[in-house]
Copies of this chain bind each other. A is one copy, B any other.
Amino acid sequence: MNITHGLRRALQINRNGLAIVYGERRKTWSEIGDRVARLAAAIRATGAQPGDRVAVLSMNSDRYLELYLAAGWSGTVIVPLNIRWSALENEDAMRDCRAGLLFVDKAFAQVGTVLAKAIAGLKLVYVDDGETPAGMDSYETLIERTAPMPDAMRQGSDLCGIFYTGGTTGRSKGVMLSHGNLMVNALNALGEGLWPATSVYLHAAPMFHLANGAAMYSILLSGGSNVVIQGFTPDGVAAAIQRDRVTDTLLVPTMIQMFVDHPKIGDYDLSSLKGIAYGASPISDAVMSRAMKALPNVQFTQAYGMTELSPIATLLHWKEHVGEGRAKGRHRGAGRATFGCEVKIVDADDRNVPTGTVGEIAVRGDNVMMGYWERPEETAKSVIDGWMHTGDGGYMDEDGFIYVVDRVKDMIISGGENVYSAEVENALAQHPAVAQCAVIGIPSERWGEQVHAIVVAKPGAKATPEELMEFCKTLIAGYKCPRSVEVTETPMPLSGAGKILKRELRKPFWEDKTRSVN
Interface residues of A in 392-420 (CB under 8 A from B): 396, 398-401
Given A184-B1, A187-B188, A365-B1, are A342 and B9 also a contact pair (CB < 8 Å)?
yes
Q: A222 contacts the other chain (Cβ, under 8 Å)?
A: yes
Bound complex: CA A116 to CA B343 (Å) = 44
Known contacts A5-B342, A193-B197; is-contact A336 B13 (Cβ 8 Å): yes
Contact yes or no, B187 A192, CB < 8 A = no
CB A352 to nearest CB in B, in angstroms, measures 11
Q: How many copies does the complex hold?
A: 2
Q: Does A255 contact B (CB under 8 A)?
A: no
Expressed in whole angstroms, the Cα–Cα distance for A38 and B30 within the complex equals 54
A221 on the interface (CB 8 Å rule)?
yes
Chain B residue nearest to A191 in the complex (CB): B190
CB distance A337 to B12 under 8 Å?
yes
Listed residue (A184, A343, A365) with the most chain B CB atoms within 10 angstroms of its CB: A184
Q: Is A1 within 8 A of B190, CB to CB? A: no
Contact A187 B13 (CB under 8 A): no
**In whole angstroms, how far apart are the Cα atoms of A221 and B343 in the complex?**
15
Known: A187-B188, A337-B13. Contact between A342 and B8, CB under 8 A? Answer: yes
Whether A190 contacts B337 by the Cβ 8 Å rule is: no
Residues in B neighbouring A398, C-beta threshold 8 A: 15
CB distance from A366 to the nearest CB of B (A): 5
- Shortest C-beta distance, A313 to chain B (Å), equals 12
Cβ of A343 and Cβ of B187 under 8 Å apart? no
Interface size of A in residues (CB-CB distance below 8 Å): 37
- Give the distance in Å from the alpha carbon of A14 to the alpha carbon of B398 in the complex: 9
In the complex the two chains form, is B13's CB within 8 Å of A339's CB?
no
Is A340 located at the chain interface by the 8 A CB criterion?
yes
Does A391 lie at the interface of the complex (its beta carbon under 8 Å from any beta carbon of B)?
A: no
Cβ-defined contact, A1 with B340, below 8 A: yes
* Contact A156 B342, CB 8 Å, known A12-B400, A187-B187, A197-B193: no
Contact pattern, A 1-45, Cβ under 8 Å of B = 1, otherwise 0: 100011011001111000000000000000000000000000000
The CA of A153 and the CA of B342, in the complex, are separated in Å by: 13
Residues of B within 8 Å of A5, CB to CB, are 340, 342, 365
Q: Which residues of B have CB within 8 Å of A396?
A: 12
Return chain B residues, CB-CB under 8 Å to A6. Answer: 339
- Nearest-CB residue, chain B, relative to A367: B1
With both beta carbons as reference points, the residue of chain B lying nearest to A317 in the complex is identified as: B197
Verify A187–B339 contact, CB threshold 8 A. Answer: yes
Closest-CB distance, A69 to chain B (whole angstroms): 16
Q: Enumerate 13 A-B pairs (CB-CB under 8 Å) in ascending A order.
A: A9-B400, A13-B336, A13-B337, A14-B400, A15-B398, A183-B340, A187-B188, A187-B339, A187-B340, A190-B191, A190-B339, A192-B197, A193-B193
Beyond A6-B339, A183-B340: 5 further Cβ-contacts under 8 Å? A8-B342, A12-B342, A15-B398, A187-B339, A190-B192
Q: Which 8 A-B pairs rank lowest in CB-CB distance, beginning with the nearest?
A: A13-B400, A190-B191, A187-B187, A12-B400, A191-B191, A13-B336, A1-B366, A187-B191
